[in-house]
């Protein structure tokens, strides 16, 4: 006996990235508890959509002790990096050494050069002064670009996978798996233009990770993310890190300072 | 004030649930009634059951379904050995924290 609330809960749980079989079990459990309490599930738990998000978060495995681990080789080194546009300095003397298995957060007010720094790390912008050394395999998720409005998620995976020499089925399997980890279940015929801003940003993040890069650079990836999946994003960051990648994230909001290895705070450069 | 209570409960609910389970296994509705009886008020199902799930995922409680003679089968929650250790540590650090807050707020209370 399944009512529509319970079916809807299972569906939303799957959309939140819960494995389908476990989602069915969780929904059945919720229905059984409501039956014991002698109430309708809706009045016990509230709307299925909101409850699915809460439940999916509760079901996520607990994080271990992240800082107690060995780190790998240096994958990104910045030494005295400065950038000037015409006569205006936007970055002054930035240095950072980032190893495999580490997370760096770049914070700072608007206009402090965060996006410029990321672009320099990615090799898309040249530093005016200083030295940039980076590993060859870099994944980069800039704020807006990189998603094609008329392609579906799978077509994106195939296209970006092909660049890295992945075959179609491998690219779509890996892409779908990564998307699920971000709490997004891509629908087969939905083109990117029909996705919400937050989901487009997730697609962007998945594409940056498709070829298992050693160094992952992310620019404000949560900006379009909804509040609930902000947490998913950081789970994903720590999963990449635990898999040995170095992750550099530009962020406004520091989720958990203790779990971040390097915090690079940029301040607007004085035009002195 | 209701809002403030809810925020506090959010922080302490898992410790309260573990404490209730020290005496023995119980099921969701039973725990909910005992929380209400202890003066914490009605805890919404949308808060209670995710907390129980979190305790289960952390390995602090184990669950089993048991048939009941009078109604539908019930999901029972029981402290694991790890849960027993965790609740002792939580209770200790809560006692310290509470006494600090008590010291600070003692002089400004109405009652």
Tell me the domain boundaries of chain B: 2-108
CA distance A132 to A129: 9
Chain A residues with beta carbon closer than 8 angstroms to that of B33: none
Mark yes or no for CB contact B29/A33 under 8 Å. yes
**Of B62, B63, B47, nearest to B14 (Cα)?**
B47
Neighbours of A59 (CB within 10 A): 20
Nearest CA of chain B to the CA of A205: how many Å? 28
Burial B35-47 (b: 16+ CB within 10 A, else e): beeeebeebebbb
Chain B residues with beta carbon closer than 8 angstroms to that of A37: 28-29, 32, 45
The answer to whether the complex's ipTM is over 0.90 is no
The per-residue pLDDT for A255 is 58
What tokens does B41 get? 């008020």
What tokens does A48 get? 């299925």
| Contact present, A214 and A160 (Cβ < 8 Å) | no
CA distance B44 to B14: 14
Nearest CA of chain A to the CA of B101: how many Å? 25
Left, alpha or beta for A259 (phi > 0: left; psi -120 to 50: alpha)? alpha
A245 is a domain residue: no
What tokens does A224 get? 């379009």
Mark yes or no for CB contact A34/B45 under 8 Å. yes
Number of domains forming the structure of chain A? 1
**Of A192, A202, A257, A262, nearest to A232 (Cα)?**
A202
DSSP characters for A37-51? Answer: HTS-HHHHH--HHHH
Mark yes or no for CB contact B45/A61 under 8 Å. no
One pLDDT digit (tens) per residue for chain A, 272 residues: 468 999 999 988 887 767 788 889 999 999 988 988 888 999 999 888 889 888 887 876 554 444 445 578 899 999 999 999 988 999 999 999 999 989 999 988 777 888 899 999 988 899 999 999 998 888 877 655 567 788 899 998 998 888 777 889 989 999 998 888 878 889 988 988 888 877 887 888 888 888 778 898 887 655 555 545 555 677 778 877 877 889 998 886 665 666 788 888 888 776 54
Mark yes or no for CB contact B46/A57 under 8 Å. no
Q: ∠ at Cα A187 (A2, A47), nearest 5°?
A: 40
A89 is a domain residue: no
Range of the domain at A19: 4-59
The per-residue pLDDT for A172 is 92
B34 touching A, CB under 8 A? no
A163 is a domain residue: no
Query: If you count them, how many residues does chain B have?
Result: 111
CA distance B72 to A38: 10
Give the model's confidence band at B106: pLDDT under 50 very low, under 70 low, under 90 confident, else very high: confident
Q: At CB < 8 Å, which residues of chain A contact B?
A: 26, 29-30, 32-37, 39, 44-46, 50-51, 54-55, 57-62
- The matching CATH number, chosen from 3.40.50.720, 1.10.10.10, 3.10.450.50, 3.40.30.120, for B2-108 is 1.10.10.10
Chain B residues with beta carbon closer than 8 angstroms to that of A26: 53
Size of interface A-B (CB pairs under 8 A): 54
Nearest CA of chain B to the CA of A55: how many Å? 5
A50 is a domain residue: yes
Average of per-residue pLDDT across B13-24? 95
């Amino acid at each position: 006996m399944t009512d529509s609330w319970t079916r809807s809960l299972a569906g939303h749980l799957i959309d939140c990235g819960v494995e389908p079989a476990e989602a069915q079990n969780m929904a059945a459990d919720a229905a059984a508890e409501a039956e014991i309490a002698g109430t309708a599930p809706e009045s016990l738990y509230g709307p299925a959509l909101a409850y699915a998000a809460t439940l999916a978060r509760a079901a996520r495995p607990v994080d271990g002790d992240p800082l107690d681990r060995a780190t790998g080789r240096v994958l990104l080194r910045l030494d005295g990096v400065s950038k000037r546009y015409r006569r205006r300095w936007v970055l002054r003397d930035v240095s950072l050494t980032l190893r495999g298995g580490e997370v760096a957060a770049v914070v700072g007010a608007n206009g402090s050069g965060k996006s410029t720094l990321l672009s320099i790390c990615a090799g898309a912008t040249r530093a005016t002064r200083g030295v940039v050394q980076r590993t060859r395999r870099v994944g980069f998720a800039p704020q807006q670009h990189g998603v094609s409005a008329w392609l579906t998620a799978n077509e994106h995976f195939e296209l970006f996978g092909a660049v890295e020499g992945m075959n179609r089925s491998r690219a779509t399997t890996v892409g779908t798996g990564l998307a699920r980890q971000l709490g997004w279940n891509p629908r087969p015929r939905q083109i990117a233009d029909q996705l919400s801003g937050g989901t487009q940003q997730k697609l962007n993040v998945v594409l940056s990770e498709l070829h298992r890069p050693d160094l992952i650079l992310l620019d404000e990836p949560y900006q379009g993310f909804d509040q609930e999946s902000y947490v998913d994003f950081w789970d994903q960051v720590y999963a990449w890190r635990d898999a040995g990648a170095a992750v550099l994230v530009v962020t406004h909001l520091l989720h958990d300072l203790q779990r971040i290895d390097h915090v690079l705070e940029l301040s607007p450069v004085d035009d002195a | 004030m209701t809002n403030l209570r809810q925020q506090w409960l959010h922080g302490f609910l898992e410790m309260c649930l573990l404490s209730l389970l020290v005496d023995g296994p119980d099921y969701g509705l039973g725990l909910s009634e005992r929380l209400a009886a202890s003066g914490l008020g009605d805890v919404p199902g949308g808060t209670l059951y995710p907390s129980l799930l979190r305790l289960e995922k952390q390995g602090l409680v184990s669950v089993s379904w048991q048939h009941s003679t009078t109604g539908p089968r019930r999901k029972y929650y029981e402290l694991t050995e790890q849960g027993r250790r965790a609740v002792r540590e939580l209770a200790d650090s809560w006692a310290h924290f509470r006494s600090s807050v008590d010291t600070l707020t003692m002089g400004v209370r109405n009652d």
